[in-house]
Amino acid sequence: MKKSKCHLSSNPTHAQMIKFYSKTNVKILYNTYRYYSNQTSRGNNLIQKRRVVVSGMGLVTPLGIGIENNWKSLLSGQSGIKDIDFKDFPIKLPVKVAGQVDKEQFQLSASKDVPIEYKLASSDFIKYAIVAAQEAISDSSLNFKEMDTSKQERYGVYIGSGIGAFDDITLTNSRLNQQPSLSKVSAYFIPRILINEVSGIISMIHQLKGPNLSLSTACATGAHAIGESMRKIQYGDSDIMVCGGTEACLNPLAVLGFHRMNALSTKSNQSKPFDKDRDGFVMGEGAGILVLEELEHALNRNAKIYCEITGYGATGDAFHISSPDKEGKGALRSMQLALKEANIQSPLEIDYINAHATSTPLGDQIEQNTVVKLYESFGVTNQNHKITMTSNKGNMGHLLGAAGSVESIYSILSLWNNLIPPTLNLNEPSPNLNINLVQNQPLQKTISHVLKNSYGFGGTNASLVFSKYIS
């Protein structure tokens, strides 16, 4: 009897194995690859990655409190950047403006139900996150406090900050210098400056007893918090994650520090991403918090689903303490990893890119060049496809650790509404690549996938893909 062509002996040679697997079973191998590409190994176990959706969002930014106020301000081209004056600082600073949260409006939005101990232990960056988290949780129609403990243990918090409570440190030190006394240091001083207290306090307010930690990756913090929260849900460690970034460091010493790095705008005193006259970024403050949820969990409670998070990439440049790699290699790999996980075969499927673009001469140029390289790596030249990419930092400045999550929320709102807000203060693009940077007016466009990029000092990169939810 003639042996089957698919037969492989019990003790095959190396050459026989190569021939068998490369010719006979190509289709089997391909189907096996497709099955396992959406799985991952954990120890000795192979698990199916679960789908993750966004079911709630909350914002505190220089453009206002709440997602509705922010979205209206973005579409109408408003700016939250205002004059700032550090009167008591011994040195006159050349920095004249900053993206500032309206304190009166914020106080009206602050919850009266937060226990006094948590208020005393909260510096501004924590307070911003508390309000943004309350909106996000309310937006998701969840009430964690009414759930039994077993469910509370499946819900976690990953909220980070790039710098944290700079004001508390400098003001406490100033008081001590003026009047040396033990009483000049608050009993809440340490909790107020610890970055992880933001996740801790929000977990206490809402009784979230699952994974709880805070990330700090400079200006990529918010995006990394979203990506790592996505992983927690994908791998089954949690069903819901409250995540994002927050920042409040409009402190004269912090401003001076960034100025000494030649990072801030001092000539135009404007945030002008991609514009030929950009001369540095404008500092800002705020918080952006999202509720991520495992898909079946969201469907079972008939939750509103803004989008699905389909891809996440995280890489390091290993290049410089503050400057990006001029070749953009780490940023390119981050985008490629995010697209690969999202099963996007070509960047032509990406309808919109929300850029990091802080308004620095070098950074904005490198970012544009790297995006072009992304398309070229898939055989797409920027001559035959116009890329749509914007930056939100012209409206509010650079929110540092909160930038990635705030701008992710803006990206999701663009996906949800098929509408892209314009890049503010963009008069003459530079470099003038074949990229639609959306000047002057919002762009109506059907959007299925958005790519969001965030980068930070130390060469840290994060990329996220948000996709329209398809059942």
The more confidently predicted of residues 2 and 87 is: 87
Label residue 19 by pLDDT band (50, 70, 90). low
**Taking 70 as the threshold, does the pLDDT of residue 65 lie above it?**
yes
Please tell me the distance from the alpha carbon of residue 110 to that of residue 65, in angstroms, as a whole number. 10
Q: Where does the pLDDT of residue 5 fall: very low under 50, low under 70, confident under 90, or very high at 90 and above?
A: very low
- Rounded to whole angstroms, the Cα distance separating 132 from 66 reads 7
Show me where the domains of the chain are located. Answer: 53-467
- Can you tell me the mean pLDDT for 145-173? 93
- Segment among 2-11, 199-208, 253-262, 296-305 with least mean pLDDT: 2-11
Q: Please say if the pLDDT value at position 123 is more than 90.
A: yes
Is 398 annotated in the active site? yes
Residue 11 has what pLDDT?
Answer: 55
Q: What angle do CA 452, 197, 356 make, to 5 degrees?
A: 15
Burial of 300 (0-12, 13-18, 19+ CB in 10 A): exposed
Phi and psi, residue 400, nearest 5°? 55, -115
- Look at residue 31 and tell me whether its pLDDT is greater than 80: no
Query: In this structure, are residues 330 and 459 in contact, taking their beta carbons and an 8 Å threshold?
Result: yes
Q: What is the CA radius of gyration of the chain?
A: 24
Rounded mean pLDDT, 39-57: 78
For residue 407, give the nearest of 219, 140, 278, 127 by alpha carbon: 219
Q: Is the pLDDT of residue 96 over 70?
A: yes
Least confident of 29-38, 122-131, 158-167: 29-38
Task: Between 239 and 268, name the one with better pLDDT.
Answer: 239
Report the C-alpha gap between 272 and 279 in whole angstroms: 8
What pLDDT shows up at residue 4? Answer: 43
Residues whose CB falls within 8 Å of the CB of residue 170, separated by 6 or more in sequence, listed in order: 251, 253
347 contacts 268 by C-beta, under 8 angstroms = no
Contact 222, 401 (CB under 8 A): yes
CATH level 2 (architecture), domain 53-467: 3-Layer(aba) Sandwich (3.40)
pLDDT band at 134 (very low <50, low <70, confident <90, very high): very high
pLDDT of residue 270: 93
Residue 110 binned pLDDT confidence (cut-offs 50, 70, 90): confident
Identify the active-site residue in 206, 259, 356, 449: 356
When pLDDT is cut at 50, 70 and 90, the band that residue 87 belongs to is confident
For 30-39, 232-241, 345-354, 411-420, which range has the lowest pLDDT when averaged over its residues?
30-39
Task: State the virtual CA torsion across 200, 205, 208, 211 in degrees, nearest 10.
Answer: -10
Beta-ladder partners of 429 = 275
**283 — phi, psi (to 5°)?**
-70, 145
> Considering 206, 224, 259, 398, which one is annotated as catalytic?
398
Check pLDDT > 70 for residue 266: yes
Please state, in angstroms and rounded to a whole number, the distance separating the CA atoms of residues 398 and 242.
22
At residue 12, the pLDDT reads 55
Query: What's the pLDDT band for 108 if we cut at 50, 70, 90?
Result: confident
DSSP three-state, residue 389: strand
- Greater pLDDT, 289 or 37: 289
List the catalytic residue out of 219, 243, 249, 307: 219
pLDDT in tens, 180-210: 999 999 999 999 999 999 999 999 999 999 9
pTM, two decimals, is 0.90
Work out the average pLDDT over 145-174.
Answer: 93
> Could you give the percent of the chain with pLDDT greater than 70?
90
Task: Tell me the pLDDT band of 406, cut-offs 50, 70 and 90.
Answer: very high
Q: Identify the residue whose tokens are 């079946």.
A: 296
The whole-angstrom distance between residue 111's C-alpha and the CA centroid of its chain comes to 25
With cut-offs at 50, 70 and 90, classify the pLDDT of residue 18.
very low
| pLDDT at residue 93, rounded to an integer | 92
